[in-house]
Amino acid sequence: MKYLIPLWLLLSALLVSWEVSPEDGLFYQPDGWPKPSYNFETNPISHEGFLLGKALFYDPLLSKDSTVSCASCHLQYTAFAHVDHPTSHGVDSRVGKRNAPGLMNLAWYPYFHWDGGVLGLNGQAINPITHPDEMGSTLEDVLKKLNRNPTYRKAFQNVFKTDEIKTQHILKALAQFTVSLVSANSKYDQMKRKELAFSDQEQRGYTLFLRHCNQCHTEPLFTNFKFKSNGIGPHPTLKDEGRSAITGKEKDALTFRVPTLRNVEHSFPYMHDGRYGKLKEVIHHYATASMWKLPVSSELKKKNISLNSDEEKALLSFLKTLTDKAFLLNSTFGYFSLK
């Protein structure tokens, strides 16, 4: 009996350390980060659920003609963004009107999409699955395909204890994978943990960042999750009114969610419409206030940022420290199939 309690404590400690290890792919809470917005009680994460969600994420079966998977527009090495077009394309080569954003640290997001229309990660995947410019499918069709697939039926039975796969099971499995995409091991993070130091140029860039950018791209998530106009003006052909499409309010016209800058080096193109292909073009946009078109957020108006070319280079160096190679190359997030 006297050995039972220490043994139990040891097993518990092992279990906890297993749960929080970044290497196994499951969600973990980095030190010093805020409390996640995601309610894990609605969808407890399990290793099997994570694997099932990963299999669905990489399976084109979710699209109407089984040609496009989630991963078609969200590639791991590009921070789960889509880099070969300004805006992503889906089935039948149809092109959407927004740049597929990178997927990481989604547990902290209070809402999703560039306009913030979707409030919870559990329901988010309905949009890409059913959007005619993305996967173009229907939930009925997806359920039919999955329910007649014995491998998936077995996997869903294992995770959700269900004989019949239903909508909520698909969405929750996908969320178990996507909520686990935590990126918190960049050079910036290592510097914060005092494991290494920035170069002089990176440090200069960081100082500039704190002065000019941090108000909206707030540490440690590098976004404040607010909706802002960044001065690029409306796209010449895409009719995208942004946040006002959701709220119906004039003041929200042409505002979009502030994106995270984590892994920004790899998640080109930039802006909601993928207008800029290079990070230095984005920095140059913010560094040259005279080029801004209306509307512009009050923060940007007040700051009236002006940077010389050395400062632009320093800022670029700092932004590259947000690259998390351990995340981009983590094989536990890579292609996976149940078959």
Partner 1 sequence: MSMSALPWELNTFEAMKRVTHFLFGLVLIAPWEIWAQLNLRVLYRLAPITLGKRLPFNSNDSIQLDQLKFYIGTKDEKVHFFDLEDSLTHTLILHQPEDSTLLYFGMDSLANTQGRLDGPFDPLLGMYWAWNTGYIQIKISGVLWTSIQSFPFEYHLGGYRHPYITHYQKMVSLHNRTVHLSLEGFLSALPIQDQPKIMMPGPRAWTLYQHFVSSFP
Binding residue (CB under 8 A) for partner 1 from 191, 218, 241, 246? 246
Least CB distance to partner 1 at residue 41 (A): 11
> Is residue 42 within the footprint of partner 1 (CB under 8 A)?
yes
- Render the burial of 69-107: b for 16+ CB within 10 Å, e for the rest: bbbbbbbbebbbbbbeebbbbbbeeeebbbbbbbbbbbb
Cβ closest to partner 1, residue 180 vs residue 321: 180
276 phi, psi to nearest 5 deg? -105, 130
How many angstroms separate the CA atoms of 126 and 111, rounded? 14
**Segment lying near partner 1 (by CB under 8 A), choices 52-60, 168-176, 224-232, 234-242:** 168-176
Give the integer Cα–Cα distance in Å for 318 and 292. Answer: 23
Q: Is 247 in the site for partner 1 (CB under 8 A)?
A: yes
Q: Are 182 and 105 in contact (CB under 8 A)?
A: yes
Long-range Cβ contacts of 274-282 (<8 Å, 24+ apart): 274/85, 274/86, 274/87, 274/99, 275/86, 275/232, 275/235, 277/86, 279/316, 279/319, 280/312, 280/316
- Answer yes or no whether residue 167 interacts with partner 1 by CB under 8 A: yes
> Does position 207 bind partner 1 by CB under 8 A?
no
123 binds partner 1 (CB under 8 A): yes
Residue 34 makes contact with partner 1 by CB under 8 A? no
168 binds partner 1 (CB under 8 A): yes
Sign of CA dihedral 97, 114, 23, 15: negative
Q: Under the criterion CB under 8 A, does residue 122 sit at the interface with partner 1?
A: yes
Query: Minimum CB separation from partner 1 for residue 120, in Å?
Result: 4
Instruction: Give the nearer residue to partner 1 in terms of CB position, either 92 or 164.
Output: 164
41 binds partner 1 (CB under 8 A): no
36 binds partner 1 (CB under 8 A): no
DSSP E strands, the chain: 227-228, 256-257
Give the one residue of 29, 130, 185, 207 binding partner 1; rule: CB under 8 A.
130
Query: Is 282:292 a contact under the CB 8 Å cutoff?
Result: no
214 lines the binding site for partner 1 (CB under 8 A): no
Q: Which is nearer to partner 1, 241 or 299 (CB)?
A: 241
Question: What DSSP letter does each residue of 179-215 carry, written as one string?
Answer: TT-----SHHHHHHTTSS---HHHHHHHHHHHHHTTT
| Choices 4-12, 159-167, 254-262, 269-277 (CB under 8 A): range interacting with partner 1 | 159-167
Asked if 305 contacts 315 with a C-beta cutoff of 8 angstroms, the reply is no
Which element (helix H / strand E) includes 147? helix 139-147
Residue 234 sits in the site that holds partner 1 (CB under 8 A):
no
| 282 SS3 class | helix
Report, in Å, the least distance between residue 333 CB and partner 1: 24
Q: Which residue stretch of 48-56, 83-91, 184-192, 244-252 sits at the interface with partner 1 (rule: CB under 8 A)? A: 244-252
- Least CB distance to partner 1 at residue 202 (A): 39
Q: Write out the residues near partner 1 by the rule CB under 8 A.
A: 39, 42, 111, 113, 117-120, 122-123, 126-127, 130-131, 139-140, 143, 163-164, 166-168, 171-172, 245-248
